[in-house]
C-alpha cells in the first residue's frame, strides 16, 4: 500500500463529497450534512456557493458551465467522537433529484426528480459524455424492512429526457467513462464490485445475458469488508476507486489487475477528483472527519468532459 504525503486544505465540513475544480482554480465540494455546496479558495478560505437542501452528493461541470448535482434526499446523522456519519433517511426525505446550480449566482433548479413516473431514490455520482448528456448512479435507499433497488440513469443536460440504463444494481455508487468514452464503469458499494459496460449509443449499453442480473462485466471484486464509493479514471485508463473501511484509493487496470491501494488518513475517503493544470494532483474528501486533502498522484488524471484547464491551486 502506497503512503503519500497529503496536505489538508479544508476542515470543519459536514461530510464533504463531490470535489470539482472550477475555472478559477477554486475547489467546490458538497456538504451532505448541511445541504449546501462550499467553495475552497486560495489560502483555504471557504464560502458558500449554493444551498441545495436535502443531501447534495456527487457533482460535475456541465456543457453550460453550471454544476450538475446528484441530491440523495438527505440522511439522518450520528456523531461518534470526531466522526459525523449518515444513517437512515432524513425525517423530511421525499426522494432524490438532479439539480443544476449556476456557479455565478448560486441559483438552484431541479432538472429531474423522477423517471417513467417513479421517483428517484438516492442519486449519488455523475459523469458527462460528449453528447450533451450524463450518466448517474442512484444508490437506492434503505428502510427498516425494505430497500429500493439501485440503478444507472442517463439524462440530457437540457432537461429534455431521462432514461433508465441499468437496473437492478445493489447500491451503485461511483461512475466513470473510459478515455475513449466507449466503456462505462460502475462501482457497487456494498458488494465492492467494479463493473463495466460497453456503450452502444448514448444512454444504451450492451448487457450480458443471465445469470448476470445487472448485465455488467466484472472488472474486479475486492475481498474482505470493503465498500466502494466514487471513482475517477486516469489518463492511462486505470480506474481509481475510493474504498471505504480500508481507507484508501484502489487503483485497478481496465483488465482487472489490482495495481495499488493508496493510503488515506481516515477510513471514509469517499470521493476524489483530478485537479491542477497538469491534472496530476488529486483532491480527496475525508468525509467522517470533515476534511479535504490534496496530494500528488502517481499519474495524470483524465480530463473530464467540460472540465476547463484551470489555474493551479496555490498553497498558502
Distance of alpha carbon 280 from alpha carbon 198, whole angstroms: 27
* pLDDT at res. 44: 83
pLDDT tens digits, residue range 285-295?
999 999 999 99
* pLDDT at res. 65: 97
- Using DSSP's 3-state secondary structure scheme, residue 261 falls into strand
Report DSSP letters for 115-149, one per residue: ETTEE---EEEEEE-SSSEEEEEE---B-SS-BPP
Distance of alpha carbon 194 from alpha carbon 154, whole angstroms: 19
Q: Residue for cell digits 448485465?
A: 215
Task: Dig out the grid coordinates for 204 from the structure.
Answer: 444504451
Domain boundaries, the chain: 7-222
Distance of alpha carbon 224 from alpha carbon 243, whole angstroms: 12
Q: Which fold has domain 7-222?
A: Neuraminidase (2.120.10)
Given a contact cutoff of 8 angstroms between Cβ atoms, the answer to whether 14 and 54 are in contact is: no
* pLDDT at res. 42: 83
Distance of alpha carbon 186 from alpha carbon 169, whole angstroms: 10
* pLDDT at res. 309: 63
Nearest to 283 by CA among 291, 267, 268, 272: 272
Rg of the chain in Å (alpha carbons): 18
* pLDDT at res. 310: 47
Given a contact cutoff of 8 angstroms between Cβ atoms, the answer to whether 146 and 88 are in contact is: no
- Using DSSP's 3-state secondary structure scheme, residue 221 falls into strand
The one-digit pLDDT tens for each residue of the chain (316 residues) are: 899 999 999 999 999 999 999 999 999 999 999 999 999 998 789 999 999 999 999 999 999 999 999 999 999 999 999 999 999 899 999 999 999 999 999 999 999 999 999 999 999 999 999 999 999 999 999 888 899 999 999 999 999 999 999 999 999 999 999 999 999 999 999 999 999 999 999 999 999 887 666 899 999 999 899 999 999 999 999 999 999 999 999 999 999 999 999 999 999 999 999 999 999 999 999 999 999 999 999 999 999 999 976 444 444 3
Compute CA distances 195 → 154, 215, 302, whole Å: 17, 9, 19
pLDDT tens digits, residue range 74-103?
999 999 999 999 998 999 999 999 999 999
Given a contact cutoff of 8 angstroms between Cβ atoms, the answer to whether 24 and 61 are in contact is: no
Residues in the chain: 316
Nearest to 165 by CA among 204, 130, 138: 204
* pLDDT at res. 84: 95
Nearest to 62 by CA among 23, 97, 100, 24: 100
Residue 158: CB partners within 8 Å, gap ≥ 6? 132
* pLDDT at res. 1: 86
Amino acid at each position: 500500500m502506497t503512503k503519500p504525503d497529503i496536505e489538508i486544505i479544508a476542515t470543519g465540513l459536514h461530510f464533504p463529497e463531490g470535489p470539482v475544480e472550477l475555472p478559477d482554480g477554486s475547489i467546490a465540494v458538497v456538504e451532505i450534512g448541511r445541504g449546501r455546496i462550499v467553495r475552497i479558495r486560495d489560502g483555504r478560505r471557504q464560502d458558500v456557493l449554493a444551498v441545495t437542501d436535502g443531501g447534495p452528493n456527487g457533482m460535475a461541470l456541465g456543457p453550460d458551465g453550471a454544476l450538475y448535482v446528484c441530491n440523495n434526499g438527505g440522511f439522518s446523522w450520528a456523531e461518534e467522537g470526531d466522526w459525523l456519519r449518515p444513517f437512515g433517511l432524513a425525517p423530511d426525505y421525499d426522494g432524490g433529484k438532479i439539480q443544476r446550480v449556476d456557479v455565478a449566482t448560486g441559483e438552484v433548479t431541479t432538472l429531474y426528480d423522477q423517471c417513467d413516473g417513479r421517483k428517484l431514490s438516492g442519486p449519488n455520482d455523475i459523469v458527462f459524455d460528449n453528447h450533451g448528456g450524463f450518466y448517474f448512479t442512484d444508490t437506492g435507499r434503505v428502510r427498516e424492512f425494505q430497500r429500493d433497488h439501485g440503478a444507472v440513469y442517463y439524462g440530457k443536460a437540457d432537461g429534455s429526457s431521462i432514461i433508465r440504463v441499468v437496473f437492478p444494481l445493489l447500491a451503485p455508487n461511483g461512475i466513470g467513462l473510459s478515455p475513449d468514452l466507449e466503456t462505462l464503469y460502475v462501482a457497487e458499494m456494498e458488494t465492492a464490485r467494479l463493473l463495466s459496460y460497453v456503450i452502444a449509443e448514448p444512454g444504451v449499453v450492451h448487457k450480458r445475458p443471465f445469470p448476470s442480473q445487472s448485465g455488467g462485466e466484472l472488472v474486479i471484486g475486492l475481498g474482505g469488508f470493503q465498500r466502494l464509493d466514487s471513482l475517477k479514471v486516469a489518463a492511462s485508463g486505470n480506474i481509481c476507486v475510493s474504498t471505504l473501511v480500508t481507507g484508501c484509493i484502489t487503483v485497478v487496470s481496465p483488465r482487472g489487475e489490482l495495481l495499488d491501494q493508496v493510503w488515506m488518513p481516515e477510513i471514509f475517503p469517499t470521493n476524489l477528483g483530478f485537479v491542477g493544470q497538469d491534472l496530476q494532483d488529486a483532491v480527496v474528501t475525508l468525509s467522517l472527519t470533515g476534511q479535504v486533502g490534496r496530494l500528488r498522484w502517481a499519474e495524470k488524471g483524465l480530463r473530464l468532459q467540460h472540465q476547463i484547464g484551470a489555474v493551479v491551486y496555490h498553497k498558502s
